[in-house]
Amino acid sequence: MQGNRGATGQKTLLRTCTKLSSNKSRRQGDYTVKSASANGQNYPINKPDVIIRDNEERTCMLIDVAIPGGRNVIKNEAEKILKYKDLTIEIQRMWNVKTSVIPVIIGATGTISKSFRKYVNDIT
């Protein structure tokens, strides 16, 4: 449930991606950015929920939180990690930091994966 959290951010992203000659589609009077072109490559627009960058330790964590209705928690974790793979590589290259993706997936019925505690410990 995204709500209205990105109205201003989406306008800023639209202006930035327009400068980068992005692909966009018009829907109900609003723009939805699908992908952006930079350095001759086409990147999908992926926005993790939280980005934590530690300049002293030179690390960056991309945290994505989801509460799926089904029981496929492990599948959702794998999808999140794959979804942000290109972004991880690009952040490592641009910021010269070690980057990791931390999926925090809790099923609607409270189902968690075996690696959930490891991911939460990585955050703290």
Domain that holds residue 16: 1-40
My answer on whether 65 and 107 are in the same domain is: yes
Please say whether the beta carbons of 77 and 101 come within 8 A.
no
My answer on whether 110 and 70 are in the same domain is: yes
My answer on whether 52 and 35 are in the same domain is: no
My answer on whether 84 and 104 are in the same domain is: yes
What domain count does the chain have? 2
Distance CA 1, CA 81 (A): 20
- Nearest of 86, 47, 82, 53 to residue 65 by alpha carbon: 47
pLDDT digits (tens, 9 = 90+) for 8-32: 555 554 555 454 443 444 443 444 4
**What CATH number does the domain containing 73 carry?**
3.40.91.60
Work out the pLDDT band at 5, boundaries 50, 70, 90: very low
pTM: 0.64
My answer on whether 84 and 119 are in the same domain is: yes
Helices (H), 20-107: 73-83, 85-95
My answer on whether 56 and 115 are in the same domain is: yes
| pLDDT over threshold 90, residue 6 | no
My answer on whether 33 and 59 are in the same domain is: no
pLDDT digits (tens, 9 = 90+) for 45-103: 678 999 999 999 999 999 999 999 887 899 999 999 999 998 899 899 999 999 999 99
Distances (CA, A) of 22 to 37, 43, 66, 90: 6, 9, 27, 17
